[in-house]
Amino acid sequence: MRPLSLRTRTLLVVCVVVFVPVLFTWLTSPFEEAIEHSMRRSLKACTQDAIQLVRVQSPNSRYQELAESCSIWIRVFSPDGTLEADANGLGEPSWRERILFAPDPVPTLIGVDPELPPLSERSTVKTAEARGQAGICHLHQNGRLFICEYARHVELATQSTPRIIHAQSSSSRSLSNLYAERGAIMRLSLLVMLVAIVLGIWLSWRLTKPLGLLRDAVRERTVPVVSTSRIEVVGDDEVAELGHAFNDLLSALDTKNQANEAFMADMAHEIKNPVAAIRAVSESLERRPEVDAERAERLAKILKDSSARLDAVVNRFLELARAESGLPRADKSEVRVDELVKNIVESFSTDERYTAIEFDLASFKATVLGSAAHLETVVRNLVANAASFAKTAVRVRVERREDWVVIEVSDDGKGIAEDDLPRVFDRFFTRRDDGGGTGLGLAMVLALTRAHGGKVRVESEVGKGSTFIVELPALTGLSS
C-alpha cells in the first residue's frame, strides 16, 4: 500500500486538531452522568462503616482513615449541633480539572460548603432524623460542581442521645456546560474546519513546493550525465538546510571524483614505462624475427623486469585503493602495538642496509582494534622512510595519551622544506636523493591510518630532521 503524501497527511492533521475537542466533549460528558450512581453507592457503603466507629466511640483518627480511603467528608454530630468528629478525605483537584477550568479556580466542596445551610438545618439531616436515612445529589456553581450528601440517624445503646452521620463527596463537571452546547460547538467547528482546510492546503503547498523543487534539482543532476554542480538554495529554513546538506554531499562526491581521476592518472603514468618497454620488445621482434641466444636473453630480461614492475604497480595501487576505501573487508582484532613496533624495529636493526643507523625504541603497553598486517605496513613504511633520510639515528616511541595510542617515528636527517610539508602524503611525492622509492609509502600510511579511525601528521625542521606522528583510537580497558 502506497503511503499517504505529505500534503494529505498535513490536511489530516489539521482536521484532527479541529475535531478532537468536539469528539472529546461528546465522548467524555456522558460518562460524567454515570458518576452520580457511583457516588451514591460509595457514600452508603462508607457511612455503614462509620456507624460501627460511632458505636464503639472511635477517635477522630479512625474517621480520618475511613474518609481518606473513601475520598469523602465525614462529620458526626448530636441533634443539638455539637460536632464530635470531622474527617476530610477529599483530594486536591487533578491536573485535568485545573486545565479545563483555567483561568478560574477549580470549584471544590470545601469552598462551597460554607455557602450551604448549617448541618442541622440541611434537608438530608432533617429527613434522616425522621426516617433514619436520607440522600440527595445536586449541582452548584452554575452546574460546575456536582455534590452528593448522605445522612444517617444512629441510636446508641449506651447513650440516650442519638448521633447523626453526615457524609459528602463531590465531582467537578468540567465538560457539562460544553456538552450542553454541543450543537453550537459543532456548527462552530464546521466553520473553523472550512478555514482550517484552506490553511491546510496553503500550509501543505508551502511545505511540499520547496521539497519538490529540491527533488527536481537533484534528479536533473542524474540525467543525461551525472553532475555534481551545486543546487541553488533559497531561504534559511529547514528545507534550505536540506539543500545545503545536498550541496555538501555533491561537493564530497566531486572531491571523490577528482581523487579518482587523479588516481587513474597516476596509475596510467606508473604503468606507462613498463608497457612501453614491453611494446618496444614486441616491435623489435616484429622487425627482426630471428633471435639469437644473446638477444633472447636481453629481451627476456626486459620482459621479465617490465612485467614484474607492472605487477608491483598494480598490486600497490590495489592496496592503496582498498586502504582509501576504509578496508571494508579487513578482519580486525586486538593488536598489541608496542609488540608489533618492537618486532619491526628489531628487523631494521639487523638489516645490513642500515648498519650505520642507530634505532632507539621506547614503548609502553598499548592495544588497538585493527588489522595487524595493515598496521605493520604503516609502521614499516614510516621506519623505512626515516631510515632512508636519517644521518645516524632513528627514534621510535609508542605511548598511550588519554584515548589514543601514539606512534612517533623521528630521524635526524635534513628535514622537510616548509613548501613540501603539505604534499608529503600525496601519491608519488618523494625527495629522495638516490631516486629510490615509489612515492606511495606515505600515501599508504595516511590511507591505512584513516581506515583505522586515526590521524597522522608530520613535524619537521630543516637541518634537524622530521617526526611522523600516528594517533590510533585506543582499545578502552585493555591498554594502560
Give the number of other CB atoms < 10 A from CB of residue 112: 16
C-alpha cell at 454: 586515526
Q: What are phi and psi of 406, to 5 degrees?
A: -110, 130
| Residue 51 sits in the same domain as residue 168 | yes
| Residue 58 sits in the same domain as residue 144 | yes
Helices within 82-181 (DSSP H only): 95-101, 109-112, 123-131, 176-180
Q: Please indicate, yes or no, if residue 5 is contained in any of the structural domains.
A: no
Residue 479 confidence (pLDDT): 38
Residue where a domain terminates, one of 164, 180, 196: 180
Residue where a domain terminates, one of 165, 180, 195: 180
Residue 239 confidence (pLDDT): 79
How far, in Å, CA of 341 to CA of 380, rounded? 8
Report the pLDDT averaged over residues 314-319.
78
Q: Please indicate, yes or no, if residue 254 is contained in any of the structural domains.
A: yes
C-alpha cell at 282: 614486441
Note down the domain range covering 42: 34-180
Asked whether the predicted pLDDT for residue 478 surpasses 50, the reply is no
Q: How confident is the model at residue 26 (pLDDT cuts 50, 70, 90)?
A: low
Higher pLDDT, 270 or 148: 148
| Residue 347 sits in the same domain as residue 463 | yes
Residue where a domain terminates, one of 146, 163, 180: 180
Rounded percentage of the chain residues whose pLDDT exceeds 90: 29
Q: Please indicate, yes or no, if residue 131 is contained in any of the structural domains.
A: yes
Give the number of other CB atoms < 10 A from CB of residue 34: 9
Beta strands across the sheet bearing 358-363: 358-363, 393-401, 404-411, 465-473, 455-461
| Residue 286 sits in the same domain as residue 412 | no
Report the pLDDT averaged over residues 397-420.
91
Q: Please indicate, yes or no, if residue 206 is contained in any of the structural domains.
A: no
Q: Please indicate, yes or no, if residue 219 is contained in any of the structural domains.
A: no
List of residues 6+ apart from 318 with CB closer than 8 A: none
Q: Please indicate, yes or no, if residue 160 is contained in any of the structural domains.
A: yes
Residue whose C-alpha cell reads 482550517 in the numeric block: 196
C-alpha cell at 378: 604503516
Query: How does pLDDT run across 343-394, given as a tens digit for each residue?
Result: 999 999 988 888 888 999 898 889 999 999 999 999 999 999 999 889 999 9
Report the pLDDT averaged over residues 450-479.
87
| Residue 271 sits in the same domain as residue 309 | yes
Angle between helices 35-55 and 60-70 (to 10 degrees): 160
How far, in Å, CA of 312 to CA of 307, rounded? 8
Report which secondary-structure segment, H or E, holds 149: strand 145-154
3-state secondary structure at position 4 = coil
C-alpha cell at 325: 576505501
Q: Please indicate, yes or no, if residue 4 is contained in any of the structural domains.
A: no
C-alpha cell at 388: 632512508
The CATH code of the domain that includes 310 is: 1.10.287.130
| Residue 254 sits in the same domain as residue 362 | no
How far separated are the first and last CA of the chain, in Å rounded? 56
Higher pLDDT, 39 or 21: 39
Would strands 393-401 and 404-411 be described as parallel, antiparallel, or unpaired?
antiparallel
Rounded percentage of the chain residues whose pLDDT exceeds 70: 90
DSSP secondary structure of 430-472: ---TT--S-S-HHHHHHHHHHHTT-EEEEEEETTTEEEEEEEE
DSSP state of 107: P
Report the pLDDT averaged over residues 311-331.
78
66-71: list long-range contacts, CB under 8 Å, 24+ apart.
Answer: 70/42, 70/43, 70/45, 70/46, 70/169, 71/42, 71/169
Q: What is the mean pLDDT of the chain?
A: 83
- Of 262-276, 283-297, 389-403, least confident by mean pLDDT is 262-276
- Furthest-apart CA atoms within the chain: distance in Å: 148
Reduced 3-state DSSP string for 346-374: HHHHCCHHHCCCEEEEEECCCEEEECHHH
| Residue 413 sits in the same domain as residue 430 | yes
List of residues 6+ apart from 404 with CB closer than 8 A: 454, 471, 472, 473, 474
| Residue 246 sits in the same domain as residue 369 | no
C-alpha cell at 370: 585493527
Q: Please indicate, yes or no, if residue 119 is contained in any of the structural domains.
A: yes
| Residue 115 sits in the same domain as residue 63 | yes
Give the number of other CB atoms < 10 A from CB of residue 383: 24
The CATH code of the domain that includes 155 is: 3.30.450
| Residue 282 sits in the same domain as residue 342 | no
Give the number of other CB atoms < 10 A from CB of residue 338: 20
Total domains in the fold of the chain = 3
| Residue 316 sits in the same domain as residue 351 | no
Higher pLDDT, 15 or 110: 110
The CATH code of the domain that includes 430 is: 3.30.565.10
How far, in Å, CA of 456 to CA of 468, rounded? 7
Query: How does pLDDT run across 160-196, given as a tens digit for each residue?
Result: 789 999 999 988 765 555 555 556 666 777 777 788 7
| Residue 57 sits in the same domain as residue 98 | yes
Q: How confident is the model at residue 100 (pLDDT cuts 50, 70, 90)?
A: low
Residue whose C-alpha cell reads 600497490 in the numeric block: 316
Residue type, 358: E
C-alpha cell at 363: 614503548
Higher pLDDT, 152 or 296: 152
Residue 120 confidence (pLDDT): 87
Helices within 390-476 (DSSP H only): 441-451
